[in-house]
Structure 1
């Protein structure tokens, strides 16, 4: 049996994290972005695990690039990750401020047409750009239903839910009951959003190629699309230079995601994720251990 977490220690961690987030949230957006860029640039020069993992992932996914290009892109990604952390801290406390930073929407017309058709719509948003701003905009414009996985720190979870539910989105726990509730909402025409590039638990995924590498991929999104007939769209919030704000981008996903053959569906899902990442690879979370659950007989590259 694993060791139980000390409740007092968990409370201390939660309160400390919330305090740190609150302090960051006190900074005006311009100062927030400047400080995040400065700290990110410093961290990107250090021999951290995040930098190492990023370079490993980039070497696997972009073998055509040189080692020097991998290093530069990995450092850019780390800077963007720090920017994302700082702006999320601000926007969880001030959701309206985050929504106001959306200055352009690319691909909104096909999305609106799909919603108007009366069919459910699924937004597939990988760890690219600022996904919290995307969540705010979708919840403000549509009837958004999403799943929520607790972090284990109740104080932090309360802050996250407060920010995400500010515009009226409905949250579901990552349980069988939560999935059932989400399916009921989708069958009534609701929109849902899922992070499709997370490594699932051992009962909830299959291996499928991701940039040509076997990646353990969650099956939930594909199964929900097959069950409900939802129209899938890829989406991300591109971080614009300086303090210009964000551009939301929506792209119809590969139709093969709805294929009844699950393996075919997963291949199409990962190909759609790849196409979206290629629009702005420097803003992808390359430090995430996407290949940490390799097929039997293979070793994880980390």
Structure 2
């Protein structure tokens, strides 16, 4: 995709409210990091009260995935999850507008040698990530030290789309944004020995998905990870990120490549992916995006869960 370009239409009055909101958000990014964490928690508490539909989805997901917890424990986890979601708004702004050196001070990266080794060997990489609330800032921090291409879906608001893409791509001018449905482009960059960020942990419907267990529930799981790895002749490097509790920044981990992947069947691969997803989420469940209806698509005859 071409680089985002400013257009005169962005000055139209219909965008003024968005410009005002973005301006206020930019001003907040001037505050100290720990102050922004506190503001994010306040925002998350407000969202918990007013975002009724998302609160219900998140609560239901926690009931489904953590039946062993008491209702009080799940309620606490729900509050922490919304706090993390509130913080994510300010992390997004930090990743778009903070000076690069200020942002880099929050980065604690492990396993970068796996990416570097693949690059040296001309090996394509699927950087298998998850939809944590820290997704935006994690990608920015990694993009500062290594070229990572990304799957991309255009935002409906053209001004927000311009700001978002410009903010994301500033960390690595060599990176490319690939439309989520453009399989041919994705395979091309993998075969060229590049690394691409890809998250297989959401419900994308019945088409090209298999039902395999996730947290003990049959979940529609995309087979694309297997297809991309095979057709793109790429290795799969799991990637996790976590906001550190002491306020010192973020721990990013690039894990060793999945051995013998793809395997004998797509079903076995999907199960393996889901097992990894579940393990990674259990390490910091409060930072996962529980407001997504992960179990929306059901096997034939199975009751709805939402």
**Match of 1:255?**
259
Any idea what SS the aligned residue of 1:113 has?
helix
Measured in 2, the distance between the counterparts of 1:52 and 1:230 equals 39
Measured in 2, the distance between the counterparts of 1:217 and 1:112 equals 29
Q: 1:138 to 1:164 in 2, by over 3 A?
A: same
- The reply on whether 1:173 has 2:186 as its aligned counterpart is no
CA shift at 1:12, angstroms?
Answer: 7.8
Q: Per-residue displacement from partner, 1:86-114 (whole Å, max 9, x unpaired)?
A: 21033223362674243312333344334
**Match of 1:125?**
129
Which of the residues 40, 51, 59 maps onto 1:36? Answer: 40
Unaligned runs of 5+ in 2: 1-8
- After TM superposition, list the pairs within 5 Å mapping 1:14-93 onto structure 2: 16-17=17-18, 19-27=20-28, 28=31, 29-44=33-48, 48-93=52-97
Asked if structure 1 preserves the Cα contact closer than 8 Å seen for 2:124 and 2:234, the reply is yes
- The reply on whether 1:294 has 2:303 as its aligned counterpart is no
Asked if structure 2 preserves the Cα contact closer than 8 Å seen for 1:148 and 1:172, the reply is yes
CA shift at 1:224, angstroms?
Answer: 0.4
Q: How many residues align?
A: 291
Measured in 1, the distance between the counterparts of 2:156 and 2:133 equals 25
Q: Per-residue displacement from partner, 1:98-152 (whole Å, max 9, x unpaired)?
A: 7424331233334433443432111111112411222223333333222211121
CA shift at 1:162, angstroms?
Answer: 0.5
Measured in 2, the distance between the counterparts of 1:145 and 1:271 equals 25
- The reply on whether 1:146 has 2:146 as its aligned counterpart is no
Q: 1:191 to 1:47 in 2, by over 3 A?
A: closer
Normalized against structure 1, the TM-score is what? 0.86
Q: 1:275 to 1:115 in 2, by over 3 A?
A: farther
Asked if structure 1 preserves the Cα contact closer than 8 Å seen for 2:25 and 2:90, the reply is yes
Normalized against structure 2, the TM-score is what? 0.85
Cα RMSD of the aligned pairs, angstroms, is 2.5
Q: 1:258 to 1:81 in 2, by over 3 A?
A: same
Which of the residues 245, 248, 257 maps onto 1:244? Answer: 248
**Match of 1:107?**
111
